[in-house]
């Protein structure tokens, strides 16, 4: 007869299993990547289309809608506006692997939340599943709302949402939710592919929501 494991051993095993599950649901969160991401700071950078000296991310309680509607490019403008508004909502949220809330979020959960809230489109939870959504597109064809994927060092891939002007919204494992440049040496080196998951029906719903 085999003796039952000690309660303390069982508890350790349960905690270990939970930790593994949390890691598998996240993206780009391996310890080997910490500190390897580019030294960029969106909060000191204004996006094209804003008045000189105006910073969209200056305050989380600023009038995002008014600022967004002042942007004219790139098309489709309405998607860009919506995504920048989502940046206002999530900016500064810390990265937490397996997280999906204001207290901490990983890259695939951010993408899932933004797509559901903005486009009423439910994407899978993980980067591994999101990479099969929609259709593949060339980097030169990128439009606001397209998914961009990266293969950085380590076990996990990374995903973000293109917002136009060569920038994408994502949850950085070292800096939290932010907007980064695709041509940054780090992200350019590990760029993998892009996919278009948005359908015309989703865009129509978005237009009805944001048009005055």
Distances (CA, A) of 17 to 3, 12, 47: 22, 9, 43
Please identify which of the residues 6, 27, 87, 158 carries the catalytic annotation. 158
* Contact call for residues 56 and 50 (beta carbons, < 8 A): yes
Instruction: Provide the residue count of the chain.
Output: 212
Active site residue 158: yes
Dump strand ranges (E) for 112-190: 135-137, 147-150, 158-164, 167-172, 176-181
110-113, long-range: CB within 8 Å, 24+ apart, which pairs? 110/169, 110/170, 110/171, 110/177, 111/147, 111/159, 111/160, 111/161, 111/170
Query: Token pair for residue 212?
Result: 């005055």
Is residue 107 annotated as part of the catalytic site, yes or no?
yes
Query: Is-catalytic flag, 6?
Result: no
Q: Which of 27, 87, 132, 170 does the annotation list as catalytic?
A: 170
Q: Report CA Rg, the chain.
A: 19
Which entry of 6, 27, 87, 107 is annotated as an active-site residue? 107
User: What whole-number distance in Å separates Cα of residue 21 and Cα of residue 125?
Assistant: 13
- Give the catalytic positions in this structure: 107, 158, 170
């Amino acid at each position: 007869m085999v003796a039952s494991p000690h309660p303390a051993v069982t508890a350790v095993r349960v905690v270990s299993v939970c930790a593994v599950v949390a890691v598998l649901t996240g993206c780009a969160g391996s310890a080997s990547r910490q500190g390897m991401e580019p030294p960029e700071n969106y909060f000191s950078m204004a996006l094209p289309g804003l008045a000189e000296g105006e910073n969209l991310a200056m305050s989380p309680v600023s009038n995002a809608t008014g600022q967004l509607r002042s942007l004219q490019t790139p098309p489709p403008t309405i998607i860009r506006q919506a995504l920048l508004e989502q940046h206002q909502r999530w900016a500064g949220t810390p990265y937490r692997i397996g997280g999906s809330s204001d207290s901490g979020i990983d890259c695939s959960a951010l993408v899932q939340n933004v797509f559901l809230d903005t486009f009423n489109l439910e994407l899978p939870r993980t980067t591994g599943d999101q990479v099969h959504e929609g259709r593949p597109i060339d980097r030169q064809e990128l439009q606001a709302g397209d998914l961009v994927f990266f293969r950085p060092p380590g076990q996990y891939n990374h995903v973000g949402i293109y917002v136009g002007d060569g920038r994408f919204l994502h949850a950085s494992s070292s800096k939290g939710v932010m907007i980064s440049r695709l041509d940054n040496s780090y992200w350019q080196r590990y760029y993998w592919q892009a996919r278009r998951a948005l359908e015309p029906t989703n865009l129509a719903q978005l237009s009805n929501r944001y048009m005055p």
